[in-house]
Structure 1
Amino acid sequence: MSRTRKPGPLPGRHPVRFGTAELRRDDDRSNAWLLSVDGVAQSYVDLDNPTHLEFDYIRRFGDVIDHLPQGPLEALHIGGAACTLPRYIAATRPGSRQLVFDADAELVDLVRTHLGLKIPGLRVRITDGRTGLATRHENSADLLVIDAFERATLAATLATLEATRAAAKILRPQGTYLANITDGAGLPFARRFLATLHEAFPHVLLLADPAVLRGRRFGNLVFAASPTPLPTAKIATRTASAPFPARCIHGPDLQKLAAKAHPLTDTDTPHPPTPPKDILGLF
């Protein structure tokens, strides 16, 4: 009896909530795919090797996660797209249970159809991040990841002190908070976000390309925070020796970076920075 073979992913463009998504195969890898919305890269996944992390900031997420205590994780992700990081965690930490909140139902359907979401231990819910956070129990997660963008702009309501304190309550005593933001010259938004994290967590570190930290170019900044000390030295060693090295800033240097910045709040949140058009495809 013959069986119908399930077709693989198909390149193409599709309307989604926040614009037009495009799925494109990577010519250099046999089953790797780039997902973008309105020309802005959102996710890169290698379906044959979920441990391959293409984007630098996702590698920084991986650097932190790899140095957390061994074993499965209870993880909550705000922002999913093609679920690159959940795939990585499922592959490197079998038995993990993960929940993704994503506000773009059409994008999730596109990913489910073409890239698959039958990932062990993973559930995906359609909701915005703040609404989703309000549904979670205290002390219920080992890891909470904030990586929610609308096209190229951060969902700013997730960066406020109110949202960050809500996230901190969801974490277990040794849990870890990760966030990806973008910023440019002077790092005005990043400094305020750093001040916000310092209000909610006693331990914070920052990972970024040296040129981004100096304000020479627009780029991603990855923040890690926790109620308990982070494995800063090990993370710094890993990121410094990476093919594209990143600096690990912590302690007094991080306090100096924050300077006199004020925390972001629900009533005082500037519009998040938008990348220059000539580099939008990088993010």
Structure 2
Amino acid sequence: MAKRQIFTAPSAQVVDIKTGTARLDKVDGEADSYVLHVNGVPSSSITLSDPLRLDFEYLDWMFRAIEVQAAAGSLRAVHIGAAGCALARALHAARPGSKQTAIDIDPVLLDCSRRWFDLPRSPALALRAGDGAVEIDSFRPDTLDVLVRDAFSSDEVPADLQTDTFFAACALALKDTGIYLANVPDSGDHRVLKAELVELRRHFAHCAAATEPAILKGRRRGNVVVFASNSPLPTADLDRRLRTAHTMATFLDEDELRSRLGV
């Protein structure tokens, strides 16, 4: 019988990947915590001994939303934009038996993440190199519980992941009870956020969002998490869970999206 390979925590390092450079930094004072930078942008925070620790606030919000929206038990989840697979690691720990696919445009980055972070193997977590806008069509209709879009080129979402065609394919792949979650960069004018919400409403019956108050007020750039589903979102439960997050989020239900953003 072949011996199981012993995993050794990585050291800080910089490697060339297909789309540029990946840098792994060890967090000072932490035994096994790391931040993965892709082309200079912080892309994942990983604590090897605690997969449920999500130091990036928007990932914590996503995880809390999934816990509220998705019924207890295992999940079928797809992540478009993989990086270090922090959210996938958390769902693997919280929902035993789940089957997940993480898609990234950069195959070398996927190999690094698998090696550095001791990721679960397929079918628990399959890593797939490819364009998310193309790969979304490979999933059978009405099969996904969770679909996460967290893909960036530099500090912007690739244009082909913001199209009517892409959102239609996402809605088709998700179950009616499933949830779509997206990390939307907001520069303060909410232009990108509004455009995305307008497109999402063409394909999903219910939308909501969460962010920090300063971002909502346009005082600084940051992350907005958008939620969409064809089943009613449990807005009261979502609001309560997001208010108790490590970084408290302001939750915007459908009425508040209309009153505050006009969408």
Q: TM-score, normalised by structure 2?
A: 0.93
1:170 aligns with 2:186: no
| Counterpart code for 2:94 | T
1:116 aligns with 2:118: yes
Q: Does structure 1 retain, via aligned residues, the 8 Å contact 2:132–2:161?
A: yes
CA offsets, 1:143-180, max 9 Å, x none? 11000112322122112221011100000121111111
Q: Which moved more, 1:147-156 or 1:60-69?
A: 147-156
Residue in 2 aligned with 1:155? 158
Residue in 2 aligned with 1:232? 235
Distance change >3 Å, CA 6–CA 210, structure 1 → 2:
closer
| Counterpart code for 2:152 | F
Q: Structure 1: how far apart are the matches of 2:96 and 2:224?
A: 28
Residue in 2 aligned with 1:188? 191
Q: SS state of the match for residue 186, structure 1?
A: coil
* Identity %, equivalent residues: 34
Residue in 2 aligned with 1:51? 52
Q: Provide the aligned length of Structure 1 versus Structure 2.
A: 258
Q: Which moved more, 1:6-15 or 1:30-39?
A: 6-15
CA offsets, 1:95-130, max 9 Å, x none? 100011111011111112222223571101111101
Q: Structure 2: how far apart are the matches of 1:204 and 1:164?
A: 13
Distance change >3 Å, CA 228–CA 20, structure 1 → 2:
same
Deviation at 1:5, TM superposition (A): 5.6
Q: Does structure 1 retain, via aligned residues, the 8 Å contact 2:9–2:32?
A: no
Deviation at 1:6, TM superposition (A): 4.8
Q: Does structure 1 retain, via aligned residues, the 8 Å contact 2:104–2:129?
A: yes
Unaligned runs of 5+ in 1: 261-283
Q: Structure 2: how far apart are the matches of 1:38 and 1:122?
A: 25
CA offsets, 1:227-257, max 9 Å, x none? 0011111110111233321111012221234
Q: Structure 2: how far apart are the matches of 1:22 and 1:146?
A: 22
Q: Does structure 1 retain, via aligned residues, the 8 Å contact 2:60–2:245?
A: no
CA offsets, 1:180-212, max 9 Å, x none? 110112211111111111111111110000111
| Counterpart code for 1:177 | Y
| Counterpart code for 2:178 | G
Residue in 2 aligned with 1:106? 108
Distance change >3 Å, CA 196–CA 25, structure 1 → 2:
same
Q: Structure 2: how far apart are the matches of 1:148 and 1:4?
A: 31
Q: Paired residue for 2:137, among 130, 134, 139?
A: 134
Q: Structure 2: how far apart are the matches of 1:4 and 1:186?
A: 50
Runs of 4+ in 1 over 4 A off after TM superposition: 3-6
Residue in 1 aligned with 2:82? 80
Distance change >3 Å, CA 6–CA 134, structure 1 → 2:
closer
Q: TM-score, normalised by structure 1?
A: 0.87
| Counterpart code for 1:76 | V
Residue in 2 aligned with 1:246? 249
Residue in 2 aligned with 1:263? none
Could you say what the CA RMSD is over the residues aligned between the two structures, in angstroms?
1.6
Distance change >3 Å, CA 54–CA 4, structure 1 → 2:
closer
1:212 aligns with 2:215: yes
Q: Does structure 2 retain, via aligned residues, the 8 Å contact 1:32–1:45?
A: yes
Q: Structure 1: how far apart are the matches of 2:178 and 2:220?
A: 32
Q: Structure 2: how far apart are the matches of 1:249 and 1:46?
A: 30
Q: Does structure 2 retain, via aligned residues, the 8 Å contact 1:194–1:258?
A: no
Q: Structure 2: how far apart are the matches of 1:156 and 1:210?
A: 27
Q: SS state of the match for residue 125, structure 1?
A: strand
Q: Structure 1: how far apart are the matches of 2:258 and 2:165?
A: 21
| Counterpart code for 1:85 | L
Residue in 1 aligned with 2:93? 91
Distance change >3 Å, CA 233–CA 13, structure 1 → 2:
same
1:22 aligns with 2:49: no
Unaligned runs of 5+ in 2: none
Q: Structure 1: how far apart are the matches of 2:132 and 2:5?
A: 39
